[in-house]
Amino acid sequence: MKLHSALFLLCFFWLIFLHGADRKVTIIHKQGEFDCHTFRIPAMVNTNKGTLLAVYDMRYNSRRDLQGHMDIGLSRSTDGGETWARPVPIMDMKKFGGLPEDQNGCSDPNILVDRKTGEILVSAVWTHGKPGTHQWRGKGSEPGHSIHKSSQFMMVRSKDDGLTWSEPENWTKKLKDPKWCLFAPAPGNGINLMNGTLVMPTQGRDATGFPFSNLMWSKDHGKSWTLSSPARDNTTECSVAELKDGSLMLNIRDNRNRKDKSKTNGRAVSVTDDMGKTWKIHSSDHGALPEPVCMASLISHDLKDGRRVLFFSNPNSKYRREKMTVRMSLDQGKTWPKSILLDQKGGAYSSLAMVDDRTLGILYESSVADMVFQKIKLSEFGL
């Protein structure tokens, strides 16, 4: 009994150290649950009805990236993230073209709510065939639009708060420059601008296979989209937020940080005031927000006193995916003076969303489980 009591106390104090004494950790998925090896690549939004929707890769056989047997899955919460419904696949290409499911994988979801209509859009990348490849390397995705050559830009829609979903729509021919090797959504969430324009962060590989980051936008509720120019190159996954002055900030994963562990290690940050026709380097670029080269999340939120706050989450380390941290900025991302450490030992991909006006939610890959959800009161940031 003494041994069991000691082990219980050890685990209890470890959890306090890891997550804080008052912060509940809700596990969305542990490895192997729901007949699925691993959940990865979270994205989350709060719908017009106050439902939290979490989407992610359901990687059935292993943790590895495409190509493999994987669908885009969904979990819903109607009580502010306290409980979550059983995960269901919402984008599943099954045995398309006579090829097995492990050659029809879907990955890297982005989720966006049209605030005017309530419609929810989830996009992802689909690879058909090409076993043993990766869309970001070599011939894993090639120029052109053919499903036999290029990874595809796919989208599903829901008009009933995420309860049912359309069949996958293929947007590759409408969006991808055929000279490019790849064009794909950036995992995470899209946004609505103050004027109702929908904006989605995106990424790709140009005609030479070199990566870039940009965005696309729609003024007709997602029927058609306009692509911006690249904000940066040698970059990939990115997050977008609208600043108080109406400009757009793109916060970007930068491949240079694989080697750069100096004071210039950090997220690439660019800003546009013309919907991505032209871009300027932000003052926080490469220095304010360290990264080990990993996806991150950025959102904005308007406080009742009129201030617009930015929240940012990523593994706060130059060297490895650890120290999952949420930061706050009140000066349009110039400085990030307040931060909250959530997971000392782990943390990789993450997605932020407001649960209510005074509560921030985060869905992330943790050291405790494949994917967890936590809430942070804005008062913890002094707001």
Residue of 337, 340, 375 whose CA lies nearest to 358: 375
- How far apart, in whole angstroms, are the C-alpha atoms of residue 21 and residue 1? 25
Residue 229, burial from CB neighbour count under 10 angstroms (0-12, 13-18, 19+)? middle
Separation of CA 283 from chain center:
24
Residue of 39, 25, 21 whose CA lies nearest to 324: 25
Residue of 377, 283, 370 whose CA lies nearest to 328: 377
* Torsion (CA) 236, 238, 243, 245 in degrees, nearest 10: 30
The H or E element containing residue 99 is none
Quick check: is 33 catalytic?
no
The H or E element containing residue 172 is helix 172-175
Active-site option among 119, 142, 237, 291: 237
Q: Which residue has the tokens 């994988």?
A: 105
Joined tokens for residue 201? 């962060």
Hey, which residues are catalytic here?
A: 237
